[in-house]
Homo-oligomer: A and B are copies of this chain.
Amino acid sequence: MTTSTVRGPRNGVDTPTLFATLDAVKGTPELAKFQFRASNRWVSGTHNRSTIRGFYGAGAEDTSRTTDFTFDADHPAVLVGSNQGPTPVEFLLHAIAACLTAGLANIAAARGVTLTSVESTVEGDIDLLGILGLSSEVRNGYQGIRVHFTIAGDAPEDVLRGLIEQSRQRSAVYDVLTNGVPVDLTVTTA
C-alpha cells in the first residue's frame, strides 16, 4: 500500500483533495453518512422516466449539481415495449461497470499508477420464465453477471490487477449486487 505517500493529481483525480477528504471523514465520521435519491414517473406502457439530482452527504444537502439527470427505461419490442430506453435490468450492468471503474481511477491515483485506458463489458443472464410467472423454480432476476475489464497503465500486470481487486473490495454496487440489501416498499393510493 502506498496511500500514505504524498501524491499529485493523476488520472484526472485530484489526489490531494481525495486524501484531504479521507482525513476530514476520519476526524468526523458523521460526514460519511449519505442519502441518495431518485424519483420516477410512469409515462405509458412499460416506458417510465427517473429524475436524479439531490442527495444528502458530508453533513449537508448537495448544491453542486446544477441540473437534473433524467433517464428513460422501457422494455424492448420483443417484450411488448417501445424501446424508449434500456430495460431496468440493463441499468444494473451499467451501475456495476461504472462503480468499479470510478473506484479504480481513485485507487490508481492513490497508488501512483497512471492509467492509459480502462474498458469493461458486462453480461447478465436472465431466464424470463421467472418474471413471466411461467416457472416457480426460476428466479426473477439475473442468474449470474460477468464483468470483464481490459486495463492499461504504467505499472506491471500484477499491480494493474491489484487495482481492480481493490476496487472490487471497496465497491458499493458490487456489495449490493452480490450481497443484497433490504428494500422497503410502501404505497399511497391517490
The answer to whether A91 and B94 touch across the interface, beta carbons within 8 angstroms, is yes
Is the CB of A64 closer than 8 A to any CB of chain B?
A: yes
> Which residues of chain A in 84-136 are interfacial with respect to chain B, using CB atoms and an 8 Å cutoff?
85-106, 115, 117-135
The answer to whether B189 and A152 touch across the interface, beta carbons within 8 angstroms, is yes
Residues in B whose Cβ lies below 8 Å from that of A164: 185, 187
Residues in B whose Cβ lies below 8 Å from that of A25: 128-129, 132, 134
Residues in B whose Cβ lies below 8 Å from that of A190: 117, 150-152
Cβ 8 A contact of A98, one of B73, B99, B124, B180: B73
Instruction: Please name the 4 residue pairs, one residue from A and one from B, whose CB atoms are nearest each other, closest first.
Output: A12-B44, A12-B45, A141-B175, A73-B98
Could you tell me which A residues sit within 8 Å of B by CB distance?
Answer: 11-14, 17-18, 21-22, 25-26, 29, 32-48, 50, 52, 55, 57-58, 62, 64-66, 69, 71, 73-81, 83, 85-106, 115, 117-135, 138-152, 157, 160-161, 164, 168, 170-190
